[in-house]
């Protein structure tokens, strides 16, 4: 097996399928191993290129195999799918991964560090808690409306639910249900506040996160997500590549030499894209309080484009600015900074 230069791994929960080939693309071996056997196999195998799909467990396995001296590459599953031949099985998937990795123009995913993965996990937990809190709030609003009590929109009145219940005569069983939901609502709010404090502490100790906070429209949550997902930004060739990776550039459908640009592609991390768009909208709402080249650019855009279009364009610009700050180790200057086009 000394002539093996490329090994594709089809990852699984308990079993892993390996496909090894030489520098000419000729298959050398196929092997099915357990997780323990996989680690033992690569611990004694000569240094080569190992390729996997960027899916669950891939980043941990990439760090593990890289510690053995192998060059590890991760590929987005959508780029592997076209190389699957005919019928699909795990060995065919592993072969398709090798075939995709052999393409000179293939794009790879940078493995995340442990701290990046931990921070991403914390953000996902926070998102889940926020969704549960909104669901609980809506449920209380709906139950009260069934009994003719229409509350104002928002969570402020839910926090004073005891006063609302005292003003109206409701069945005791319904009051018990609402109190149980209210207790759950307060628990979720406490958990979200604790996670926000934890994110704030991590952000205070992160140099990149502090520099990202200098960007207008970028708050602690957005800065923390950017720091976790982007890292040092060197895996992207330019600022537009980063904006494209989160779906903030136009989707193109051109043919016959005629360019046709549609709306934003909406690819990549939808949560990060949502945060950047919300930050852009927040900046636009307080545009009269801002000055500098960025504010002038937004005002000029608003004179000829719909606010929704301007919000997406500004989110694109914020993403490019974040990439520039990460790669050039600088901070945002609203007055003199040259904004990316």
pLDDT digit string, tens, across residues 40-91: 999 999 999 999 999 888 999 999 999 999 999 999 998 999 999 888 899 9
Phi, psi of 29 (to 5 degrees): -155, 160
Strands 6-10 and 49-53, bridge-based pairing? parallel
Q: Where are the domains of the chain?
A: 6-101, 114-204, 230-328
CATH classification for the domain delimited by 6-101, as one of 3.30.420.40, 3.40.50.300, 3.50.50.60, 3.10.20.30: 3.30.420.40
pLDDT in tens, 213-229: 989 989 999 999 998 88
Say whether pLDDT at 171 is over 90.
no
Contacts of 193-199 with CB under 8 Å at 24 or more apart are 195/122, 195/125, 195/126, 195/129, 196/126, 196/220, 196/221, 198/122, 199/122, 199/123, 199/126, 199/224
Say whether pLDDT at 341 is over 70.
no
Give the closest residue to 115 by CA, choosing from 20, 231, 29, 13. Answer: 231
pTM over 0.85: no
What does each C-alpha distance from 174 to 114, 140, 180, 229 come to in angstroms?
46, 10, 10, 44
- Written as six digits, the tokens of 240 are 């537009």
d(CA 214, CA 45): 47
Terminal C-alpha separation, the chain: 51
Mean pLDDT computed over 102-119: 88
Tell me the percentage of the chain whose pLDDT exceeds 90: 48
The most confident of 236-240, 253-257, 279-283, 326-330, by mean pLDDT: 279-283
d(CA 123, CA 117): 10
d(CA 138, CA 190): 18
């Amino acid at each position: 097996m000394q002539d093996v230069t490329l090994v594709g791994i089809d990852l699984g929960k308990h079993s892993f399928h390996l496909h090894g080939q030489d520098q000419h693309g000729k298959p050398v071996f196929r092997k099915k191993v357990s997780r323990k056997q996989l680690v033992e196999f690569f611990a004694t195998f000569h240094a080569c290129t190992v390729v996997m799909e960027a899916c669950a467990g891939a980043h941990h396995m990439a760090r593990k195999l890289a510690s053995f001296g192998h060059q590890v590459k991760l590929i987005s599953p959508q780029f592997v799918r076209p190389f699957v031949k005919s019928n699909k099985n795990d060995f065919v998937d592993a072969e398709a991964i090798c075939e995709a990795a052999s393409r000179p123009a293939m794009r790879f995913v940078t493995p995340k560090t442990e701290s990046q993965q931990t921070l991403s996990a914390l953000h996902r937990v926070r998102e889940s808690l926020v969704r549960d809190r909104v669901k609980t709030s809506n449920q209380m609003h709906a139950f009260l409306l069934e009994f003719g009590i229409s509350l104002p929109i928002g969570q402020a009145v839910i926090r004073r639910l005891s006063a609302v219940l005292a003003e109206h005569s409701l069945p005791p069983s319904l009051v018990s249900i609402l109190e149980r939901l209210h207790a759950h609502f307060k628990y979720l709010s406490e958990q979200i506040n604790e996670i926000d404090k934890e994110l704030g502490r991590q952000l205070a100790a992160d140099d990149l996160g502090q520099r990202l906070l200098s960007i207008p429209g970028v708050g602690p949550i957005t800065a923390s997500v950017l720091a976790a997902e982007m890292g040092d930004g060197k895996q992207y060739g330019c600022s537009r590549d980063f904006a494209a990776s989160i779906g903030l550039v136009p989707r193109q459908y051109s043919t016959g030499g005629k360019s046709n640009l549609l709306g934003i592609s909406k690819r990549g991390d939808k949560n990060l894209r949502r945060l950047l768009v919300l930050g852009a909208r927040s900046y636009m709402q307080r545009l009269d309080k801002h000055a500098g080249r960025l504010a002038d650019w937004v005002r000029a855009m608003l004179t000829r484009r719909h606010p929704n279009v301007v919000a997406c364009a500004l989110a694109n610009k914020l993403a490019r600015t974040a990439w520039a700050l990460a790669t050039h180790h600088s901070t945002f200057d609203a007055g003199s900074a040259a904004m990316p086009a």
